[in-house]
Structure 1
Amino acid sequence: MSRDLRRRPRPVRAARGVSPLKVTLAVAGSVIAVIVLFAAGIAAEQYGRRPAAATATTRPPAKAGPGLGDAVRDGKLEFVVSRVDCTRRTVGAERLTRTAAGRYCVVSMSVRNIGDGAKFFVGHGQKAYDASGAEYAGDELAGVYANRGTESFLRRLAPGEKVAGKLVFDVPENGSLTSLEVHDSPLSHGAVIILGQR
């Protein structure tokens, strides 16, 4: 009797079925993960756009930076632009004149040495820009003619000393300047003055 029991094959257990509750939880978890990823993607996209919109709405409508009459500093020099005249075709007097290819924008300004050592103002290190962003270098010879008879930039400045003079830029016939980037030296960071604003 015992031998028959040993030889009798044991019944094979049926595989356990997956609980419907576990299936439901797994599906729900997958759906939630997809929703979270989708929401995170939307948030990241909106966050990436937000700074541009904020910049556009918070930009000052009338004045974007220092303008005429405002003192700006770069390195050891302080600059103040007092006037901009973009109506001239020539600069100079009598036989010492220079004619623009387009027309001249003459920028009247002062420069003060705020450092503790002597400093030269370098005219060709200054840059001007128009509304399209085109850059203009100064016409140095026209600047020499425009500064005749005045205490100009052509000398060394002692600490605390201030000098006034003119920078001259040759722009297209219908062009005008919107900003001036002033520099302590040709390789300095520079500071921007918005022209035509006070």
Structure 2
Amino acid sequence: MHGNEQPPQPGHPRQPGRPPHGPQPQGQPPQYGPPPQYGSPPVHPQFVAAPKKKGGCLRAFVVGVVVLAGLVLVGVGVLLSGGGDSPRSDTAASPGSDAGTSAPAGEAGKRAAAGIGDTVKDGKFSFKVTKVEKGVERVGDQYIGSNAQGQYVLVHVTVKNIGDEAQMFLDSAQKLLDTADREYDADSGAAVLGLKNSNAFLNNINPGNSVSGILLFDVPDDFRIKAIELHDSLFSDGTQVALR
């Protein structure tokens, strides 16, 4: 201490702009503020790292899964549709052609319409419609049978396996068409109850064998028949036979 100077009183900080008491190192500017506390570590600015956002990797993973699922669905659709480039089966036989032969191709995708008595092909099966019954109200007898909601249409057909392995003939794969091109499913339950020898429900046919069956459809009373679309399986292209 020099002279009559009083030491700083506790609780009263030094006034800004007033140099501290005591000698200062030569060549250094005067330091203001409280003296450093000996033995305590220097104070450094504290840096707080911002937390990284979670979810970026998860979002990328979800997007990848969605894209992969879309590609799988597209691939399955292409397989089920035959790839889109495979040629369709022979769709009809020309009227008056010999039994067992399919119709020749016409101009650019056009084929002569097949009718009752003509033979057409789809996949491993050939088909020949031999008879059509319309306006049937009930099939079966008085004890076991089925009543139509509208009317039953019965399509008699002969199916031959022209492939090199056994193939299942399914009535549920066949479609009846009206003049507005609406499709009607076969009624398997009514056929089992009311038709003793329908031979159209889950009938496995070996190569070279033929089966005569009846396809039964329950349609409205005002139904206007156009054709039947015949398939060797649920996913085949099918072939049409005109029934008018």
User: Would the TM-score normalized by the shorter structure come out above 0.5?
Assistant: yes
Structure holding more strand per residue: 1
Residue 146 of structure 1 deviates from its aligned partner by 4.2
CA–CA distance in structure 2, aligned partners of residues 110 and 94 of structure 1: 28
Name which of 124, 132, 153 aligns with 2:200: 153
Distance 1:134 1:80 in 2: 22
| TM-score of the pair, normalised by structure 1 | 0.64
Q: Is the Cα–Cα contact under 8 Å of residues 136 and 152 in structure 2 kept in the other structure?
A: yes
1:8-157 aligned at under 5 Å gives the runs 65-148=113-196, 150=197, 152-154=199-201, 155-157=203-205
* TM-score when normalising by structure 2: 0.52
CA-based RMSD of the aligned residues comes to: 1.9
Q: Please, which runs of 5 or more residues in structure 1 have no aligned partner?
A: 1-62
Contact 1:86 1:176 in 2 (8 A): no
Cα distance in 2, alignment partners of residues 186 and 108 from structure 1? 20
Post-superposition Cα deviations, 1:81-112, rounded to whole Å, max 9, x if no partner, equal 11111120111123111111110111111100
**Greater relative CO, 1 or 2 (CA 8 Å, sep 6+):** 1
Q: CA deviation at 1:151?
A: 6.6
Count of residue pairs the alignment pairs up: 134
* In 2: Cα distance, 1:153 partner to 1:135 partner: 18
Per the alignment, in what secondary structure is the counterpart of residue 147 of structure 2?
strand
User: Equivalents in 2 of 1:163, 1:70: separation in Å?
Assistant: 16
Q: Does the 8 Å CA contact 2:135/2:221 hold for their aligned counterparts?
A: no
- Which residue of the partner structure matches residue 186 of structure 1? 234
Q: Which has the higher helix share?
A: 1
Query: 1:122 Cα deviation (Å)?
Result: 1.2
- Residue 146 of structure 2 aligns to which amino acid in structure 1? R
Deviation for aligned residue 1:64: 5.7
Worse-matched range after superposition: 186-195 or 87-96? 87-96
- Long gaps (5+) in structure 2: 1-110
Q: C-alpha displacement at 1:178, in angstroms?
A: 1.1
Tell me how far 1:76 sits from its aligned partner: 0.2
Amino acid across the alignment from 2:150: G
Give the ranges of 4+ consecutive aligned residues of structure 1 lying more than 6 Å apart after TM superposition: none
Check 1:84–1:146 CA distance in 2 against 1; reply closer, same or farther (3 A cut): farther
